[in-house]
């Protein structure tokens, strides 16, 4: 039986020591199976908080990426490859760091600031790939993410140029964003109270308080379930979803109150406060509604 083309690509990457994993049509990891949903399985041993999960399916995104051809081409992953739309890889597992430049301005900044290295064109910019690993950090500056340890990147081709050593300039970017203090007594410095949204004071909203609180709780749960990576994206998605529900309300709905809870949830799992705020603000705007 002929392998799907994406599986052949993954096997090719694995042979070069690059851990691969299937990605869905939206270029994100495939959804976890019911057993692994919301980290109910405890997570894999190689995650930030080591767990006992030995799920044979490609659950947990980068943590499932592998160079083992028997896993990649095994029956447990067969359905995943049929559904896949792209191949992802774990940069840290391959010993590299990807500086993801997601706009023309970001590419111009890198060209003027960072040493040249292997470069791969992306949909909206470029991936600059350096030899060496570091902590992954999203939003180190506008349209710039760092993907290395405990993160995934989409495989976009071999690129051009010569890969060079990870420079201090890139490590410094992550250090600048590492501004959220470690949790103290179970709370973080930017900790906020629970949901302060009340239907009784939001006369311009057409939803019940229970409806709004349920939507918020689901968004917060999704953020908390992404403790190792992706919490910022979940915060964006939750904000966009909540905003969309209020797009036909006469307003104001005071979604800024809900926004603070989403920001707090993201910060509580390690997302820098500035990045969490930016993700939620953009999510609200993308949902097509208004702030107060």
Could you report the per-residue pLDDT of 199-236, keeping only the tens digit for each? 555 567 777 777 777 888 888 888 887 766 678 888 88
Give the pLDDT of residue 176: 57
Under-70 pLDDT residues of the chain: 1, 176-203, 227-229, 288-292
3-state secondary structure of 140: strand
The pLDDT assigned to 98 comes to 97
Output the CA torsion sign for 106, 235, 97, 175. positive
Question: What percent of the chain clears pLDDT 90, i.e. is strictly above it?
Answer: 47
Based on its alpha-carbon atoms, the radius of gyration of the chain, rounded to whole angstroms, reads 20
| 3 Cβ contact partners less than 8 Å away, ≥ 6 residues apart | 11, 73, 81
According to the model, what pLDDT value does residue 191 have?
Answer: 37
The reported pLDDT for the residue numbered 85 is 95
Q: What is the pLDDT of residue 11?
A: 97
Characterize the bridge pairing of strands 153-154 and 86-89: antiparallel
Question: Which DSSP helix (H) or strand (E) runs through 22?
Answer: strand 20-23
Per DSSP, the chain holds a count of helices (H) and strands (E) of 9, 8
Task: List pLDDT tens digits, range 225-274.
Answer: 776 667 888 888 888 888 888 877 877 777 888 888 888 888 877 777 88
């Amino acid at each position: 039986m002929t392998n799907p083309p994406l599986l052949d690509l993954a096997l090719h990457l694995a042979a070069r020591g690059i851990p691969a994993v299937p990605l869905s049509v939206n270029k994100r990891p495939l959804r976890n199976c019911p057993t692994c949903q919301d980290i109910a399985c405890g997570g894999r041993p190689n995650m930030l908080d080591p767990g006992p999960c030995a799920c044979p399916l490609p659950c947990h995104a980068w943590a499932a990426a592998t160079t083992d051809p028997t896993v990649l081409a095994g029956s447990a992953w067969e359905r995943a490859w049929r559904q896949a739309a792209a191949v992802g890889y774990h940069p840290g597992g391959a010993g590299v760091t990807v500086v993801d430049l997601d706009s023309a301005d970001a590419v111009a900044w890198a060209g003027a600031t960072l040493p040249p290295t292997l470069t791969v064109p992306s949909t909206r910019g470029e991936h600059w790939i350096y030899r060496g690993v570091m902590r992954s950090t999203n939003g180190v500056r506008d349209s710039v993410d760092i993907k290395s340890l405990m993160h995934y990147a989409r495989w976009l081709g071999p690129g051009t140029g010569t890969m060079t050593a990870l420079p201090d300039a890139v490590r410094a970017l992550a250090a600048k964003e590492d501004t959220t203090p470690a949790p103290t007594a179970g709370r973080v410095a930017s900790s906020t109270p629970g949901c302060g949204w009340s239907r009784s004071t939001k006369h311009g909203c057409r939803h019940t308080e229970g409806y709004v609180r349920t939507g918020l709780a689901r968004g917060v749960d999704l953020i908390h379930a992404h403790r190792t990576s992706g919490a910022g994206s979940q915060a964006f998605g939750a904000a966009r979803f909540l905003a969309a529900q209020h797009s036909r309300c006469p307003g104001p709905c005071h979604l800024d109150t809900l926004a603070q809870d989403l920001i707090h949830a993201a910060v509580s799992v390690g997302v820098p406060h500035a990045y969490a705020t930016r993700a939620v603000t953009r999510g609200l705007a993308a949902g097509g509604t208004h702030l107060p």
